C-alpha cells in the first residue's frame, strides 16, 4: 500500500525524524521525552470558490492568469472576464458581437495580457484593450518567449515580432492543444498526433510509446530542472534532453488518465490538472491530491496559475478555485477552531453538536442540529475541555467542562427515571429533528424484522420533558453509554474538584445501579430494553443473534463496573465484576476483542474500545487482570498500524505511558482543513487507488488511507478508508481536532 504524501506535510515528517514511535518507549508526565513535537509554523491551505455568473458557459473556465496587479483573468466558453484584486465580481472584458468562446490567456513580463479567442488575438495593456491583426482565428493557444509571443490554432502558428504577427512555416498537426518555449528558445507543441519541437523552421515529432505514454498531448510545462513535462492521455511523460526519463501514471499518483494541464508553482512543485482534481509533485515525485468540492469548484481542472504569494488559482469546468497558503502553528489553528466551536456549535443547555445547512453547501444557512449521538459527542467535548484544563489550568476550561458534565447529567434527569438517560434534548419549538415519531404498519414491521430480528419498533422517540422546556430522545444505545463514561472519567481525573468528584460519583452510581437492577439491559420508558443497549449474559452468551456484540459489550460492562467501583469504593460492584468474569465468562468474551469474525467488525468499535481502555487500565489493581488488559490493548494498537485514529493513539499513550504514531498524529493535526463543511468526497472517481474490502469487510473502501485534507470532515468513529464520504447539508463540530490537540499538549507530545 502506497503512502499518499502531502507536500506541505513532508517537512513536518522530516522534522519529526527524531521522534521515537517505539511502543516500548516509556513516558512520565514531567520527564523530558524524545517524543516531543516543537510547534513551529507550517503551511495551512484553504479554499475559496468563485462562480463567474449563473450562466453555465461563463463558469466553464478554460484558461487562467494573474497579472502584476493581482487581477485574475479567465477565458471561458462565453468570453473573457477579469476580477480585480479587491473584488469577488467578474467583469466581462469583451462585449457585443466580439464576445464569444475564449481559449487561452498569458501575461507578458511587461504586464500585457494576451488573449486567444474565437475571432483572433486581443492585447490588454495600460487599461486599453486592442484586437490585433495578422493571425488567422480561432486562436486556441498563446504562449510567450524572450522576443514576444506565439499564437496558434487549427489554422497555423504565428510569432509576434515587434508589433506584427508573422506566420511560421512549421509542418505539424492542426490539433494544437498546448505549447511552451524552453530555456533555449525552442517551441514545443502538444497535439493529438504527438509532441513537436520546432527549431529553425523544422519540426521533430515524438509520438512512439518509448517516447511518450501516448501521442495525445494536451499539456506542456517545464520543471525547475528544465525537464519537459508532457501531459498525455494516460498520465505525464517527463523528458530530459529530448529523451524520456519517467512516466507518471495512476500507479505513481495521477488521479485520472485524462491530463488537461501542467503548471509549475513558485516553490517548484508541478501541478498536474486532470479530470479528477489536481495532483502536485515535488522534485522527488512525492505527491498530494486536491479534488472534490472541499478544494475545487469542479473536479475537471483545465488550468492553474499562481499569484505573487504563491496562492494557486485553478480554472475548472464550473468556476474558479483559489487554494491559498497561510503560515500558522498548531496553537494558531487551535484558536481558530475553538473560536468556531464557541460561536456556533455549543447549543443550550450545553450540547456540543454539528450544524445543518438549510441550503446544501451554503454556510450562511446554518442552524443547530440534533444527532443520535449528541451525548457521546458531548462526552468527547467534555474530555477535550478536561485536557485543556489539565494542560493550562485555565479556569475557563474548568467552567466549560462543568457545563458539559451538567448537560450529560441532565440527560438522565430529564427522563424522570431512576437511571435511564436520553440520547439528546432539543427545544420544543424545533420544527426539524432527526427520527420523528412515527407508527409502523404490520407490513413495515415485517420488513424491519426480516432485515434485523432484533429490531425494536420505537414509535415514540421524542417526548416532552415534565417542565415542558425540552424534547428528549430515547432508545439510547451502548455507544452513548461509552461516550458518557469516557467523558466522566477524564473530567474526574483531570478537571473535577472534590465537590465535582462527588457529583460524578453519585451520577455514575445511579446509572450503573439502575443497570444492575434491570439485569444489565438499559430499559426505556416502555419497560423494554432499547434496540442496542444490551449487556446481559442471557443475550450475549445465549442468544446467537447477539454473538456479534459479545466481546465488545462484555468489555463495556466490565469497564463500567470497574469505574463505579473505584468511584464509590463499594465492594458490591467488584463482586458483580468478578461474578461476570468467573460465572458468566465475560473475560473470555473480552479475550476475542481483537479477533472478531470479519462479518462483525465495524470501525465504530475501535473508537469505542479506545474510550474504555484507559478506564479499566487505570482502575484495575489485580496484577494478572491488568496484564491481560495491557496485552489486549497492545494487540489492539498493533492492529492499527497506520495511526489513522488520533484518539486511539493518544488513549494508548494515556493508558500505558507508551507513545505511538506521533508523526501520523502531528501530520493529521497540521493537514486537517479549517473548513468544517462535510463536503462529499467520492474516491471511486480516482484511478490512483483501488476499491477494496479492507480493513472492514462490509464497507466499500479505497486501498490508501486518505490524508486529513482529503477526507470528509472527521469524526473518530467513522471509517477513514470509506470510498464515498460526506454530507453536503452538514457542518461538523471541531472537537475532532481540539480533543487530540489538547490531549497531546497534556501528554507533552506537543511543545507549546
Task: Render pLDDT for 417-471 as a digit per residue (tens, 0 to 9).
Answer: 999 999 999 999 999 999 999 999 999 999 999 999 999 999 999 999 999 999 9
Band the pLDDT of 18: cuts 50, 70, 90: very low
Strands of 430-485, DSSP E: 462-464, 471-473
pLDDT at 7: 35
pLDDT at 752: 81
Band the pLDDT of 44: cuts 50, 70, 90: very high
Mean pLDDT for the stretch of residues 644-669? 97
Q: At what angle do helices 498-517 and 550-568 cross, to 10 degrees?
A: 130
Task: Render pLDDT for 261-318 as a digit per residue (tens, 0 to 9).
Answer: 999 999 999 999 999 999 999 999 999 999 999 999 999 999 999 999 999 999 999 9
Task: Render pLDDT for 324-339 as a digit per residue (tens, 0 to 9).
Answer: 999 999 999 999 999 9
Instruction: Give percent of the chain with pLDDT exceeding 70.
Output: 95
Burial 388-421 (b: 16+ CB within 10 A, else e): bbbbeeeeebbebbbbbbebbbbbbbbbeeebbb
Query: Is the bond preceding 423 in cis, omega lying within 30 degrees of 0?
Result: no
pLDDT at 161: 81
Flag whether pLDDT at 749 surpasses 50: yes
Instruction: Give percent of the chain with pLDDT exceeding 90.
Output: 94
302 domain-assigned: yes
257 domain-assigned: yes
- Cell 530530459 belongs to 240
314 domain-assigned: yes
657 domain-assigned: no
Task: Render pLDDT for 512-541 as a digit per residue (tens, 0 to 9).
Answer: 999 999 999 999 999 999 999 999 999 999
pLDDT at 242: 87
d(CA 119, CA 137): 5
678 domain-assigned: no
- Domain of 137: which CATH number? 2.130.10.10
Mean pLDDT for the stretch of residues 104-122? 97
Flag whether pLDDT at 8 surpasses 60: no
pLDDT at 2: 33
Flag whether pLDDT at 40 surpasses 90: yes
pLDDT at 146: 84
Mean pLDDT of the chain: 94
596 domain-assigned: no
Band the pLDDT of 30: cuts 50, 70, 90: very low
pLDDT at 147: 85
Task: Render pLDDT for 209-239 as a digit per residue (tens, 0 to 9).
Answer: 999 999 999 999 999 999 999 999 999 999 9
Number of domains into which the chain is organized = 1
Band the pLDDT of 6: cuts 50, 70, 90: very low
Band the pLDDT of 24: cuts 50, 70, 90: very low
63 domain-assigned: yes
pLDDT at 137: 97
pLDDT at 144: 94
Strands of 40-169, DSSP E: 42-50, 61-66, 72-76, 80-83, 91-92, 102-107, 113-117, 120-125, 128-132, 141-144, 149-153, 156-161, 164-168
pLDDT at 383: 99
Name the pTM for this structure: 0.93
pLDDT at 200: 87
Dihedral sign from CA coordinates of 690, 695, 697, 700: negative
Burial 292-318 (b: 16+ CB within 10 A, else e): bbbbbbbbbbbbbbbbeeebbbbbbbb
Band the pLDDT of 201: cuts 50, 70, 90: confident
| Structural domain for 96, as ranges | 43-328
d(CA 340, CA 516): 41
Flag whether pLDDT at 372 surpasses 50: yes
Flag whether pLDDT at 4 surpasses 80: no
648 domain-assigned: no
Q: At what angle do helices 603-619 and 478-494 cross, to 10 degrees?
A: 40
d(CA 218, CA 233): 8
Band the pLDDT of 257: cuts 50, 70, 90: very high
Task: Render pLDDT for 68-92 as a digit per residue (tens, 0 to 9).
Answer: 999 999 999 999 999 999 999 999 9
pLDDT at 680: 97
Mean pLDDT for the stretch of residues 196-221? 96
Mean pLDDT for the stretch of residues 244-253? 98
Band the pLDDT of 162: cuts 50, 70, 90: confident
Amino acid at each position: 500500500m502506497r503512502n499518499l504524501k502531502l507536500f506541505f506535510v513532508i517537512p513536518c515528517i522530516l522534522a519529526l525524524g527524531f521522534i521515537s514511535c517505539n511502543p516500548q518507549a516509556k513516558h512520565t508526565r514531567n520527564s523530558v521525552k524524545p517524543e516531543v513535537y516543537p510547534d513551529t509554523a507550517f503551511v495551512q491551505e484553504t479554499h475559496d470558490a468563485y462562480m463567474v455568473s449563473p450562466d453555465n458557459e461563463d463558469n466553464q473556465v478554460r484558461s487562467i492568469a494573474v497579472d502584476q496587479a493581482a487581477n485574475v483573468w479567465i477565458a471561458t466558453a462565453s468570453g473573457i472576464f477579469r476580477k480585480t484584486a479587491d473584488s469577488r465580481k467578474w467583469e466581462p472584458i469583451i462585449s457585443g458581437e466580439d464576445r464569444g468562446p475564449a481559449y487561452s490567456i498569458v501575461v507578458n513580463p511587461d504586464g500585457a495580457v494576451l488573449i486567444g479567442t474565437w475571432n483572433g488575438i486581443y492585447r490588454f495593456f495600460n487599461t486599453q484593450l486592442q484586437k490585433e491583426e495578422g493571425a488567422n482565428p480561432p486562436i486556441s493557444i498563446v504562449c510567450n518567449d524572450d522576443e514576444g509571443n506565439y499564437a496558434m490554432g487549427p489554422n497555423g502558428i504565428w510569432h509576434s515580432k515587434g508589433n506584427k504577427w508573422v506566420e511560421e512555416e512549421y509542418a505539424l498537426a492542426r490539433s494544437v492543444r498546448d505549447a511552451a518555449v524552453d530555456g533555449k528558445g525552442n517551441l514545443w507543441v502538444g497535439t493529438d498526433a504527438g509532441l513537436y519541437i520546432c527549431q529553425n523552421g523544422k519540426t521533430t515529432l515524438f509520438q512512439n510509446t518509448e517516447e511518450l505514454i501516448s501521442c495525445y498531448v494536451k499539456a506542456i510545462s517545464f520543471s525547475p530542472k528544465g525537464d519537459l513535462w508532457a501531459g498525455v492521455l494516460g498520465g505525464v511523460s517527463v523528458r530530459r534532453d529530448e529523451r524520456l526519463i519517467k512516466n507518471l501514471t495512476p500507479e505513481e499518483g495521477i488521479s485520472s488518465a485524462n491530463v488537461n494541464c501542467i503548471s509549475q508553482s513558485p516553490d517548484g512543485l508541478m501541478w498536474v490538472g486532470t479530470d479528477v482534481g489536481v495532483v502536485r509533485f515535488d522534485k522527488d515525485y512525492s505527491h498530494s491530491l486536491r479534488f472534490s468540492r472541499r478544494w475545487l469548484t469542479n473536479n475537471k481542472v483545465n488550468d492553474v496559475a499562481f499569484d505573487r504569494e504563491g496562492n494557486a488559482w485553478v480554472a475548472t469546468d464550473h468556476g474558479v478555485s483559489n487554494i491559498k497558503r497561510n503560515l500558522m502553528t498548531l496553537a494558531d489553528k487551535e484558536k481558530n477552531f475553538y473560536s468556531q466551536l464557541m460561536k456556533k456549535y455549543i447549543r443550550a443547555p450545553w450540547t456540543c453538536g454539528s450544524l445543518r445547512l438549510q441550503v446544501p453547501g451554503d454556510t450562511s444557512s446554518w442552524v443547530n442540529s440534533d444527532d443520535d449521538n449528541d451525548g457521546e459527542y458531548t462526552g468527547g467535548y467534555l474530555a477535550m475541555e478536561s485536557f485543556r484544563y489539565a494542560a493550562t489550568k485555565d479556569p475557563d476550561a474548568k467552567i466549560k467542562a462543568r457545563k458539559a458534565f451538567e448537560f450529560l447529567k441532565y440527560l438522565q434527569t430529564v427522563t424522570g427515571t431512576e437511571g435511564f438517560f436520553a440520547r439528546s434534548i432539543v427545544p420544543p419549538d424545533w420544527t426539524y429533528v432527526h427520527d420523528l415519531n412515527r407508527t409502523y404498519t404490520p407490513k413495515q414491521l415485517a420488513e424491519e424484522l426480516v432485515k434485523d430480528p432484533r429490531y425494536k419498533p420505537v414509535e415514540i422517540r421524542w417526548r416532552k420533558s415534565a417542565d415542558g422546556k425540552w424534547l428528549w430522545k430515547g432508545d439510547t444505545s451502548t455507544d452513548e453509554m461509552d461516550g458518557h463514561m469516557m467523558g466522566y472519567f477524564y473530567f474526574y481525573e483531570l478537571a473535577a474538584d472534590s465537590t465535582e468528584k462527588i457529583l460524578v460519583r453519585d451520577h455514575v452510581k445511579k446509572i450503573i445501579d439502575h443497570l444492575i437492577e434491570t439485569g444489565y439491559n438499559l430499559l426505556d420508558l416502555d419497560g423494554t430494553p432499547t434496540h442496542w443497549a444490551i449487556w446481559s449474559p442471557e443475550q450475549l452468551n445465549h442468544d446467537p443473534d447477539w454473538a456479534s456484540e459479545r466481546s465488545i459489550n462484555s468489555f463495556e460492562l466490565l469497564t463500567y463496573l470497574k469505574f463505579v467501583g473505584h468511584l464509590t469504593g463499594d465492594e458490591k460492584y467488584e463482586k458483580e465484576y468478578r461474578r461476570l468474569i468467573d460465572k458468566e465468562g465475560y473475560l473470555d468474551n473480552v479475550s476475542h476483542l481483537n479477533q472478531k469474525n470479519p462479518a462483525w467488525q465495524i470501525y465504530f468499535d475501535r473508537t469505542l474500545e479506545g474510550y474504555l481502555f484507559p478506564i479499566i487500565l487505570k482502575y484495575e489493581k489485580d496484577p494478572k487482570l491488568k496484564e491481560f488488559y495491557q496485552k489486549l490493548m497492545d494487540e489492539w494498537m498493533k492492529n492499527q498500524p497506520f495511526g489513522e485514529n488520533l484518539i486511539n493513539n493518544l488513549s494508548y499513550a494515556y493508558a500505558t505511558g507508551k507513545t505511538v504514531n506521533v508523526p501520523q498524529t502531528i501530520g493529521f493535526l497540521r493537514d486537517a482543513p479549517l473548513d468544517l463543511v462535510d463536503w462529499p468526497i467520492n474516491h471511486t472517481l480516482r484511478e490512483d487507488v483501488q476499491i477494496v474490502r479492507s480493513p472492514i469487510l462490509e464497507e466499500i473502501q479505497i486501498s490508501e488511507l486518505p490524508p486529513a485534507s482529503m477526507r470528509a470532515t472527521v469524526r473518530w468513529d467513522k471509517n477513514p478508508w470509506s470510498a464515498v464520504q460526506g454530507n453536503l447539508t452538514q457542518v461538523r463540530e471541531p472537537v475532532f481536532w481540539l480533543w487530540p490537540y489538547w490531549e497531546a499538549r497534556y501528554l507533552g507530545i506537543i511543545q507549546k
